[in-house]
Structure 1
Amino acid sequence: MTTETLDASFEHGAFRLVQPPSIPLREGRHVQLIIETEESPNATLVLAANVYAGLSPQDIAAVEQIALQRRDFCGEGV
């Protein structure tokens, strides 16, 4: 099997390659795509904003106490 990483954009329901592949492909050839996307900074902020969602004030206090005592985090001191 030959592999090549290609950049593409998704437009109108299809992938459009930024550059043609160096591997020769015939029309109708079956290939496997593995999709990797870049996370936007906003996605990270949304996750951070919701880190305590659904936790009681007592649960939040317990999580913050554990974070402050970092040696308890992974069973070893920092």
Structure 2
Amino acid sequence: MSASVEAVFEQGVFRPLTPIPEGKPLKINIETKSDCNDVLKLARSVYEGLSEPEIDDIEQIALDRTHFLNVYGD
């Protein structure tokens, strides 16, 4: 049987956020949940230290699809 249980790690112990059966052996895989704020912070940091013209240039390059998947260089 497989189930997904969310938990927090506090004072060296995993504490499930929902009840789980006691006394059964478990296999635990650790996967951290990313916070939406962390993702937004990371996205904003991409342009840190760049001037407005530099940001505009980068965005124009990203939006330019004229060479998208142009394998042969034509």
Counting aligned pairs with the same residue, the percent is 38
Shift of 1:3: 2.4
CA distance in 2, matches of 1:57, 1:7: 42
Deviation at 1:43, TM superposition (A): 0.5
**How high is the TM-score relative to the length of structure 1?**
0.55
Question: Aligned to 1:67, which of 50, 62, 70?
Answer: 62
Residue deviations 1:26-73, cap 9 Å, x none?
Answer: xxx4x4322233322220221111113477888752x3222221454x
> How does the TM-score come out when normalised to structure 2?
0.56
Q: Of 40, 44, 50, which residue of structure 2 is paired with 1:45?
A: 40
- Once structures 1 and 2 are overlaid, which stretch shifts more, 13-22 or 39-48? 13-22
Unaligned runs of 5+ in 1: none
What is the RMSD of the two structures over their aligned residues, measured on CA atoms? 3.3
